[in-house]
Structure 1
Amino acid sequence: MSNAREIKNRISSVKDTMKITNAMYMISSSKLKKAKINLKNTQPYFYSLQEAIVRVIKRIPEDVKLSYFDDRTDKIDRNKGYIVITGDKGLAGAYNNNVIKIAEDELKKDGNHVLFVAGNVGRSYFENKGTNYDAEFKYTVQNPTLHRARVISGRVVQMFNEKKLDEIYIIYTRMINSLESKAEIQKILPLRKVDFMDEDGTDDGTDETNYIPTPHDVLNNLIPNFVTGFIYGALTEAYSSEQNARMMAMEAATNNAKDMLKELSIIYNRARQAAITQEVTEVISGAKAQKRKKL
């Protein structure tokens, strides 16, 4: 029965693992629902902010130079900043690997690169690989908040204004739907007017708002808030995608555990049956031997 005992211990181990994976699935499901609610509640504000930027841009003459729209084409040796959003832990399928792969591809391109890594998995990866990153940029990605997004945007926007960075990108995982997500890179700064304008770029002339002191000054105050909203949205979507990826990974692990338990149960029953048959055979053989001795 030693073989059957080993199989029984393995069955017990698989059951314990299945309890853990199922619990992680439930926890991720709860976190995902909360993250979706937070994102939904804040989206109207940032959509309104984007519409306000559009109205202001239409009131600024074309010849006026806007600092946040300056692509600095005269600079050859460009400084590029990348906000890389990974998870704080694994067990989420290919979630972290997809983001890290995009970051590594960007690091191979020309220019000076500065990494701002949010999430313990990404920091550990780049640290172990010896890749330079901003060591003071230590942010977790659990329960993203608007305050955290504002602090991050304040840091990168300041570096852009001081011309320490000429381009700022964010690498994160966008949640397409409940079954699909995609790791992608988006450019934060400098902005492009065409991204805010209508398809024809025309002005309907209905905006009679007065901008004090000037539309240019108003826009310079709106853009940092817009960047904050973009980063907050990316943090929330990445967090949602992580929980969704972990749910799918844990669901697959739980299903695999169930299949393994079925196979182990069959093997265990066969082992028990073989052991019982062996014992019965030994008893019968012993009885026959005793009978022959009497004869």
Structure 2
Amino acid sequence: MAVSLREYRARIRSTESMKKITRAMELIAASRIIKAQQRAQSAAPYARELTRAVSALATYSNVDHPMTTEPEDPQRAAILIVTSDRGLAGAYSSSAIKEAERLVATLTEEGKEVRTYICGRKGQAYYKFRERPVVQSWSGFSDQPSYDAAAEVGDALIDAFMASEGDSSVDEVHVVYTRFRSMLVQEPTAVRLLPLEVVEGEERPASDEVLPLYEFEPSAEAVLDKLLPRYVQSRIFFAFLQAAASELAARQKAMKSATDNAEELIKKYTRIANQARQAGITQEISEIVGGVNALADANAASE
């Protein structure tokens, strides 16, 4: 019984150490998620104004740009999957991967060849373990993304989309990331990035309303060539910021659950250890009383 009691005490000590670690990770995630939310909110006005500029340009320029032109018969589609670099975030990465798998199945049913791009070590490990091909991958910035990283990813996707006919060219580009709704809700989302689908989000003007006039300098084509890549990079950066906030929220929630479970295990092991200790004490008392009674009986018989 004493051996069992030592085992339970060792389990209690190890669980208490684990609880300290998960509690520390929960507090770290809680402190960093505020900054991640602020970064996502601060990037929203720039993305909104850039969307308005692209909307005006696409609506009033009457220019057919390759990045806004729908292909007649799309054959290849690229998917960028945004996952985390580290674990201990619950189902954050797996949910994004499942959403990507559903998108792959949909595109495959449409007769399109899917090519995968991945951000995050978790997604890389998932595809490497299953020996699935990956065109290009990035890692090291999932919880603190920078615009330079988004620009690098955006340039790679734009190059693949703008490439002429060949093995490296694609006709569509999709992004799968986790949208931050609230501290309790993080929603895996799939959006088509290219060809551009610019949605202003406001009601279109009436037929009798005077439309604004725009002048493009030096030309609408030149403005599109400069503005559309920035727009793509901005959308990717905004997706990275949303994913970073979602990752931290998921990690905080997972670590809180782990801390609560550790507390329950400590209570359970403490109760079992106390029962084992009481059982050992009771057994020792019974043995002592039994020995005393046996000695008394032996003395009585000798007399």
Contact preservation (8 Å) 2:103, 2:190: no
Contact preservation (8 Å) 2:81, 2:100: yes
1:198-239 Cα offsets, whole Å, 9 max, x none, are: 433559657455320123321331111111111011111111
The residue that corresponds to 2:135 in the other structure is 134
State the Cα RMSD in Å. Answer: 1.9
1:235-271 Cα offsets, whole Å, 9 max, x none, are: 1111111111111111111111111211221111111
Q: Does 1:200 align with 2:204?
A: yes
Provide closer, same or farther for how the CA distance between residues 67 and 202 of structure 1 changes in structure 2, counting only shifts above 3 A: farther
Give the match's secondary structure for 1:223: helix
Contact preservation (8 Å) 2:87, 2:122: yes
Of stretches 7-16 and 52-61 in structure 1, the one that deviates more from structure 2 is: 52-61
> In structure 2, what is the Cα distance between the partners aligned to 1:191 and 1:197?
15
**Structure 1 segment 6-85 matched on structure 2, within 5 A:** 6-61=7-62, 64-73=63-72, 75-76=73-74, 78-85=75-82
Give the match's secondary structure for 2:138: coil
The one of 200, 206, 210 equivalent to 2:215 is 210
1:171-215 Cα offsets, whole Å, 9 max, x none, are: 11111111101112100010135x237433559657455320123
Contact preservation (8 Å) 1:55, 1:207: no
> In structure 1, what is the Cα distance between the partners aligned to 2:92 and 2:201?
34
Give the match's secondary structure for 2:216: coil
> In structure 2, what is the Cα distance between the partners aligned to 1:167 and 1:46?
21
TM-score of the superposed pair, with normalisation by structure 2? 0.89
Give the match's secondary structure for 1:15: helix
Q: Does 1:4 align with 2:1?
A: no
The one of 260, 270, 277 equivalent to 1:272 is 277
The residue that corresponds to 2:232 in the other structure is 227
> In structure 1, what is the Cα distance between the partners aligned to 2:18 and 2:228?
49
Contact preservation (8 Å) 1:39, 1:233: yes
Of stretches 268-277 and 283-292 in structure 1, the one that deviates more from structure 2 is: 283-292
Contact preservation (8 Å) 1:115, 1:134: yes
Q: Does 1:260 align with 2:271?
A: no
**Residue-pair matches, total:** 289
Provide closer, same or farther for how the CA distance between residues 113 and 120 of structure 1 changes in structure 2, counting only shifts above 3 A: same
Percent sequence identity is 28
